[in-house]
């Protein structure tokens, strides 16, 4: 049950207790005042002991019912014990009314109790019957001159009380339905948010597994196959491949343990993003692929979510370069602009068609192209979750530039330095970097 429902029920119970206290107090006051009137005005008619006993019985029955036959909660069906108590009180009052017309005004609390607790289709006829008995009692006890108030006042008062109480009951019922609907809507919204959070976490974990484990396993597979082919003809090269595969295994084990512990990159545990990217470039360099890292501007204070996303994107991009680009050189550039951080990964490989490369792979596909598509799709989602954007610029035969841009909060922003572009050594790609175009325009 929601907090709003609990608070509403507490407030409703407090109102019910207050209303019941007023109703019971009014009945006892009216019962006492009518008994006093009987003693002062109607005692000459005799039967004092009998009528006094009837007053006492009515009071005891009423008080006993309040203690042993409590009223049901609003909206609930009345219990048999409560209905029996109402019937007993009404019968005692009718008998007393036959002997002492002074008990007329005790009807109001009784009428209220019946209208408030009984269904309207039962309470209204019962109230009309009791009102008719009041009118008959007033006419029987009159002095012979008919008073219009004796005929009209009791029905008018009973009609007003009935109309007000019926409206209050219906309004309370509508409010309960409205609150129940609001609670159901709130629970449905909470369930939807939990489902969306679960889906987002599943996507994040799939990207982590792809970047940490799948890419490492793919690299190990390539190195071991190359070692197997060279084992007889070039044992030294085969051993180097095995050593590289062993290093990747060790690194993957560290990443997996870190992944299990807190799903964060191991390189960022005790190092800045710049240090982690420099280590990544050194680790990914091979005789066939040279990877270098350049930093432009002070990039010391980068928020952890941006650092994690940038490092994972760089890892995925270099894995694509290594497996698909047939490149001889790649450059990682980290640039600090006024209010954002840009990460460029450029290579001089065969390039690709950006529209085809960025299309998510079909479910169940196992080709290398499909793997690359999933990697780009995962990197784009990772950048979006960190508040950034990802841009791929490439053309067949002209290399590829992958640019991730992340905005920085105002407290972390600072002016960028004016160092030269790190892609100058790759002239065919330097014009494709969106970060450097933005830097040059400032």
pLDDT digits (tens, 9 = 90+) for 36-49: 888 887 766 667 88
327 pLDDT exceeds 50? yes
Kindly report the backbone phi and psi dihedral angles of residue 76, in degrees, each rounded to the nearest multiple of 5, phi listed first: -95, 160
Tell me if 249 sits within 8 A of 220, measured CB to CB: yes
d(CA 392, CA 376): 9
For residue 33, pLDDT beyond 70: yes
Please, are residues 325 and 349 in contact by the beta-carbon 8 Å criterion? yes
For 334-392, the pLDDT digits (tens) are: 998 878 899 999 999 988 877 666 555 554 444 443 344 457 888 888 899 889 999 99
Q: What would the pLDDT profile of 346-355 be if each residue is shown by its tens digit?
A: 999 988 877 6
Residue 263: the pLDDT is: 54
Q: DSSP label at 341? A: E
pLDDT at position 368: 44
Residue 360: Cβ within 10 Å count:
13
Give the integer Cα–Cα distance in Å for 115 and 112: 5
> What are the pLDDT digits (tens) for 206-235?
777 776 677 778 888 888 888 888 888 888
- Residues with Cβ within 8 Å of residue 353, at least 6 apart in sequence: 394, 395, 396
Cβ contact 68:81 at 8 Å:
yes
* Rounded Cα–Cα distance for residues 339 and 370 (Å): 35
Average pLDDT for residues 229-256, to the nearest whole number? 84
- The position carrying tokens 């009309």 is 128
Task: List, as one string, the DSSP characters of 278-324.
Answer: HHHHHHH--SS-EEEEEEES------HHHHHHHHHHHHHHHHHIIII
pLDDT of residue 334: 93
What is the pLDDT at residue 342? Answer: 93
Residue 323 has pLDDT above 50, yes or no: yes
CA angle (332, 296, 353) in 5-degree steps = 35
More confident residue, 294 or 417: 294
Q: H-helix or E-strand containing 103?
A: none
pLDDT score for 378: 82
Question: Is pLDDT at 394 greater than 80 in this prediction?
Answer: yes
Q: What does each C-alpha distance from 415 to 115, 146, 281, 335, 336 come to in angstroms?
A: 77, 100, 26, 11, 8
Residue in 399, 398, 362 with CA at minimum distance from that of residue 377? 362
* pLDDT for position 314: 92
- Please tell me the CATH code under which domain 271-441 is placed: 3.30.565.10
62 compared with 173, residue with greater pLDDT: 62
CA distances for 226 relative to 238, 245, 282, 291, 294, angstroms: 7, 11, 21, 21, 31
- Closest among 168, 166, 170 to 158, alpha carbons compared: 166
Average pLDDT value for residue range 283-297: 89
- Candidate from 7-11, 72-76, 423-427 with smallest mean pLDDT: 423-427
Q: What is the mean pLDDT of the chain?
A: 77
Q: What percent of the chain shows pLDDT beyond 70?
A: 77
Q: At 119, is the pLDDT very low, low, confident or very high (cuts 50, 70, 90)?
A: confident
Summarize pLDDT for 401-442 with one digit per residue, the tens: 999 999 987 654 443 433 334 444 454 444 345 464 444 443
Dist CA 117 CA 74 (whole Å): 8
Query: What pLDDT score was predicted for residue 377?
Result: 82
How high is the pLDDT of residue 389?
A: 93
pTM for this one? 0.43
> Higher pLDDT residue, 145 or 231?
231
pLDDT value, residue 367: 41
What is the C-alpha separation between 276 and 261, in angstroms, rounded? 19
DSSP 393: E
Domain ranges (residues) in the chain: 3-145, 271-441
Percentage of residues in the chain having pLDDT higher than 90: 10
pLDDT the model gives residue 30: 85
């Amino acid at each position: 049950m929601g907090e709003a429902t609990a608070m509403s029920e507490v407030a409703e119970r407090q109102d019910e207790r207050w209303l019941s206290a007023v109703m019971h107090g009014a009945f006892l006051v009216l019962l006492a005042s009518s008994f006093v009137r009987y003693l002062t005005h109607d005692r000459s008619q005799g039967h004092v002991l009998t009528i006094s006993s009837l007053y006492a019985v009515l009071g005891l029955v009423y008080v006993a019912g309040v203690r042993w036959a409590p009223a049901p909660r609003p909206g609930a069906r009345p219990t048999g014990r409560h209905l029996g108590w109402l019937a007993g009180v009404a019968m005692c009052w009718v008998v007393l009314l036959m002997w002492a017309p002074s008990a007329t005004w005790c009807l109001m609390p009784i009428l209220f109790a019946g209208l408030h607790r009984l269904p309207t289709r039962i309470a209204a006829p019962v109230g009309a019957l009791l009102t008719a008995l009041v009118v008959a009692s007033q006419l029987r006890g009159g002095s012979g001159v008919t008073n219009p108030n004796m005929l009209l006042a009791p029905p008018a008062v009973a009609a007003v009380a009935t109309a007000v109480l019926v409206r209050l009951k219906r309004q309370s019922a509508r409010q309960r339905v409205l609150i129940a609907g609001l609670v159901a809507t709130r629970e449905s919204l909470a369930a939807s948010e939990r489902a969306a959070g679960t889906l987002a976490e599943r996507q994040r974990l799939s990207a982590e597994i792809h970047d940490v484990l799948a890419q490492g396993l793919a690299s190990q597979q390539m190195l071991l196959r190359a070692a197997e082919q060279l084992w007889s003809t070039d044992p030294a090269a085969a051993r180097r491949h095995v050593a590289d595969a062993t290093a990747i295994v060790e690194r993957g084990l560290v990443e997996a343990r870190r992944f299990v512990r807190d799903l964060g990159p191991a390189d960022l545990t005790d190092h800045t993003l710049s240090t982690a990217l420099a280590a990544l470039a050194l680790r990914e360099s091979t005789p066939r692929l040279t990877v270098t890292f350049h930093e432009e501007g002070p990039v010391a204070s980068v928020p952890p979510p941006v650092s994690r996303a940038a490092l994972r994107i760089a890892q995925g991009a270099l894995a694509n370069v290594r497996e698909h680009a047939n490149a001889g050189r790649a450059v990682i550039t980290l640039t600090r602009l006024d209010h954002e951080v840009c990460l460029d990964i450029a290579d001089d490989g065969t390039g690709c068609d950006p529209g085809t490369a960025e299309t998510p792979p079909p479910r169940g596909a196992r080709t290398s192209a499909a793997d690359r598509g999933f990697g780009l799709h995962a990197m784009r989602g990772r950048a979006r979750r960190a508040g950034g954007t990802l841009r791929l610029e490439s053309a067949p035969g002209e290399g590829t530039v992958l640019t991730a841009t992340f905005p920085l909060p105002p407290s972390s922003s600072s002016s960028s330095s004016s160092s030269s572009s790190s892609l100058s050594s790759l002239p065919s790609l330097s014009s494709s970097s969106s970060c450097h175009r933005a830097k040059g325009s400032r």
